[in-house]
A = this chain, B = another copy of it.
């Protein structure tokens, strides 16, 4: 293996520091829907160095509101998979060249609704419908630009897991291993239902202004409500019960209504915090675009069965589920395992956790065992 310095000098992001945003223009994107999205830029970060035969590249795909910032690298901010990705960690950036692109439609460096359209104004309500497949199309151009013919591993959790499956289906020759954590073959009716509630929460915020709010106030209340709904589904009843129960928040009195509004329970304060945190860092139109992209997710659409899609590909699959996941039920992951063709390698892993879906971000030890 060549040294990091030498290897990076060959690549697009040569000499670029680990864990800092880079941007690759990929031109006009032919969308899954038939429409075209012009002037697309892909935001991404990298860690480590590509080796001589380009055999050590790992693609890490983020979830719905995730970003390119998987690990600290040379930045000052921890990444969303910090315990898993870095020097000496399960995804060892001393050994592997790790790439994390922001999804098309997002707001972390890649073209999305808040990006300028050709007329210079933000896309806003004019941003076209995108699917997870559109992002894979763009990410393949990023792989080309980085000199990566085949990924050693494509890995992600939740929507990132769905993106990993899409990579495997669209470019089976370019995916050696596919690790899909807490995701499923197709968004379920219940996921669509919860998504609808979240989209309405945003769209019914008067500040949303039909999606063209960039010269006004952001629809923080609507986005915050969407996040609250989502966050409950990311956790589990036992988790919330054990952490908060019926306790009041600080000195607030949930049974006192003297001034009209009552005091809060701890769990309400916790969700207020989660809501505010997301509203402060995420674009509401991106939330809508990506939620609709995820809702559209159906690996089999236009392709036939799971067995038909993957027969003869030789991809090594690792499918992991979370025992307490009440949004991406383990049964869905097990169904995928059963439907994969007999000629591909597949390993099923159950993450034993009380935290629900979010265990894919939390259970560092078990995740490390899975991806190592």
Binding site for B on A (CB under 8 A): 33, 125, 128-129, 131, 186-190, 192-194, 196-197, 200-201, 204-206, 221-222, 225, 228-229, 232, 235-237, 240-241, 243-246, 254-257, 260, 262, 265-268, 271, 292, 295-296, 298, 326, 329
| Contact in complex: B240, A188 (CB < 8 Å) | yes
Identical chains in the assembly: 2
| Contact in complex: A193, B228 (CB < 8 Å) | yes
| Contact in complex: B33, A243 (CB < 8 Å) | no
| Contact in complex: B225, A129 (CB < 8 Å) | no
Distance in angstroms from A265 CB to nearest chain B CB is: 5
Q: A129-B262, A200-B225 are in contact. Are A192 and B255 (CB under 8 A)?
A: no
| Contact in complex: B197, A267 (CB < 8 Å) | no
Partner of A267, one of B192, B237, B254: B192
| Contact in complex: A271, B193 (CB < 8 Å) | yes
Q: Name the B residues within 8 Å of A298 (CB-CB).
A: 246
Give the docked Cα–Cα distance between A295 and B329 (Å): 27
Minimal Cβ-Cβ distance residue in B for A191: B237
Q: List 11 A-B contacts (CB under 8 A).
A: A33-B256, A129-B262, A188-B240, A188-B246, A189-B244, A189-B245, A190-B237, A192-B268, A246-B298, A254-B295, A262-B292
Distance in angstroms from A253 CB to nearest chain B CB is: 10
Give the docked Cα–Cα distance between A225 and B194 (Å): 11
| Contact in complex: A255, B129 (CB < 8 Å) | yes
| Contact in complex: A194, B232 (CB < 8 Å) | yes
